């Protein structure tokens, strides 16, 4: 899962979210610090209204919440969603051993240029690559 800092940077750069079942998100505010929620057809579902989309909490899962506006929810895209968002610019994902762990590098090609973005988590590396592409396009 990507960091909250990267998720916020992606949103501020212009990445838009259309909530779907299985998506992870956090809610802004100190009462929810570190809590991660998952959109689910049974418990948390996107409710589209003319005024905007809210995430409705059904049943007793989160008794204190009825709904949260999309603006107050921070999407935490999965690795596959980030890779899909890179589209045809995605060239490769490499795993490099690093002590007891590993480092992952995502390589992208755009307009004849190549970029490489590394992190200790593959999702984070994909997110860094996507952030760079969004910023370059904007």
By C-alpha distance, which of 38, 17, 7, 21 is closest to 130? 7
Residue 134's Cβ-count burial label (10 Å; 0-12, 13-18, 19+) is middle
Number of continuous H segments (helices) and E segments (strands) in the chain:
3, 9
pLDDT of residue 123 exceeding 90, the answer is yes
Query: Model confidence over 97-110: pLDDT tens digits?
Result: 988 999 999 999 99
- Which element (helix H / strand E) includes 13? helix 4-13
Of all residues in the chain, the percent with pLDDT exceeding 70 is: 93
Measured distance CA(75)–CA(5) in Å, rounded: 11
**Bridging pattern class, strands 73-76 and 24-27:** antiparallel
pTM: 0.84
Token pair, residue 93, equals 């994902």
Query: Model confidence over 28-81: pLDDT tens digits?
Result: 878 888 899 888 877 777 888 888 888 887 665 545 567 788 898 999 999 999
């Amino acid at each position: 899962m990507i960091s909250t800092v990267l998720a916020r940077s992606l949103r501020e750069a212009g990445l838009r979210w259309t909530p779907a079942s299985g998506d992870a998100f956090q809610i802004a505010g100190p009462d929810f610090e570190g809590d991660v929620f998952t959109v689910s057809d049974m418990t948390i579902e996107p409710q589209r209204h003319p005024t905007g989309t809210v995430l409705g909490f059904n049943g007793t899962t989160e008794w204190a919440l009825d709904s949260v506006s999309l603006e107050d929810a921070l999407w935490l895209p999965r690795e596959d969603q980030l890779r899909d968002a890179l589209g045809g610019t995605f060239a490769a994902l490499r795993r490099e051993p690093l002590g007891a762990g590993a480092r992952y590098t995502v390589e992208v090609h755009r307009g004849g240029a190549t970029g490489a973005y590394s992190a200790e988590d593959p999702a984070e590396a994909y997110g860094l690559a996507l952030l760079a592409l969004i910023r370059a396009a904007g």
